[in-house]
Amino acid sequence: MSKFLNASGQIVLILLLVITVSLGIGLAVIQRSLTDISTASNVELSSRAFSAAEAGIERALNGNTSGVTVGETGNSSSATLTDSGLLPSANQALEYPPLSKEDTAQFWLADPNTLNDYYTQNTLDIYWGTQNIADPNDRPALSLTLIYFSGGKYQSKKYFFDPNSTRISTNGFKAPDNCSNVLTAITTSYGSNRSFYCTSKISNLPSGLKLLRARFLYNTTPQALVVKPTGSCNNGCSLPPQARLFTSVGIAGSTQRVLQLFKLDKTVPPFFDYAIFTAGDLTK
């Protein structure tokens, strides 16, 4: 009888152990399933919000910004589209979205609609680069091409800057005026207290300024570029209005996705930097 009771007790303990292990496995499977469902739901909501934000940007590209809300009834999402209006405002610095290596940025110095003179100062301030980048080889060098009209023809003038002293010894570029991780923050078309790694002042600019084109060299990560007018007069000390910044916030459930579009209505194609240009006839 005692042996039977001992055997029964062992069976009960084994059954309790099996039930406990099975319950633990079951709870783990349920928890994993709930996590997967939650992740899938969040991914779906994120995808819906992103699609809605894209719809807002598409609306901006089509020039339809009369309203501010874009509804996507098919997937229960919506987007709010914000138009910055023409940028830059008077005396404001114009900031481009982050540029990759060999990307080209364009800054109008003349009225882009008429090419009439607009910016008349003889200096410009340039800011570029992201602060606190560990790899010095990822600091972009900057190539600038200034287009101006003088003597009855379009002419160009080039400037080259490189914050990497090792590269300067081989490429012959000029060192920037200042590079620092504590460079004074400035206000640009993207907002206030914008910080950059390098700055240089371009002086002795000619009259008849039309266009400034810029390219980054050597960098492996996209980084910002800013052109800042100098002086405090009206149009002559400001860059002409030439761009818009659209911000589309897509919403699906509790998920939000934000897309921004920097739109420059009139641009010169990239091959302009590598072509011969003349307003008259070409003579071989």
Q: Calculate the CA dihedral of residues 262, 264, 270, 272 and round it to 10 degrees.
A: -160
What global pTM score does this model have? Answer: 0.79
101-126: pLDDT as tens digits: 989 999 999 999 999 999 999 999 99
Mean pLDDT of 270-280: 64
Contact 163, 176 (CB under 8 A): yes
Q: What is the pLDDT of residue 89?
A: 92
154-195: pLDDT as tens digits: 999 999 999 999 999 999 999 999 998 877 789 999 999 999
Q: What is the pLDDT of residue 69?
A: 63
Mean pLDDT of 48-69: 78
- Select the more confidently predicted residue: 283 or 229: 229
8-41: pLDDT as tens digits: 667 777 777 777 777 777 777 777 766 666 666 7
| CA atoms of 24 and 120, how far apart (whole Å) | 76
- Select the more confidently predicted residue: 240 or 45: 240
Beta strand extents in the chain (DSSP E only): 69-72, 77-83, 94-99, 104-108, 124-128, 141-150, 153-161, 178-179, 186-188, 191-194, 198-202, 209-217, 223-229, 243-252, 255-264
Q: Give the pLDDT band of residue 65 (cuts 50, 70, 90).
A: low
Mean pLDDT of 223-238: 91
**Residue 227 one-letter amino acid:** V
Does the pLDDT value for residue 58 go beyond 60? yes
Within 10 angstroms of residue 131's Cβ, the number of other Cβ atoms is 15
CATH architecture, domain defined by 88-241: Sandwich (2.60)
Beta bridge partners of 102: none
State how far the alpha carbon of 41 is from the alpha carbons of 44, 46, 48, 257, 264, in Å. Answer: 5, 8, 11, 15, 37
Q: In what order do the strands lie in the sheet with 178-179?
A: 94-99, 223-229, 124-128, 198-202, 178-179
| 183-208 CB burial, b ≥16 within 10 A, e <16 | beebebbbeeebbbbbbbebeebeeb
Domain residue extents for the chain: 1-86+243-274, 88-241
Q: What is the total residue count of the chain?
A: 284
Distance of CA 54 to the CA centre of its chain: 16
> Which range is least confidently modeled, 32-36, 246-250, 260-264?
32-36
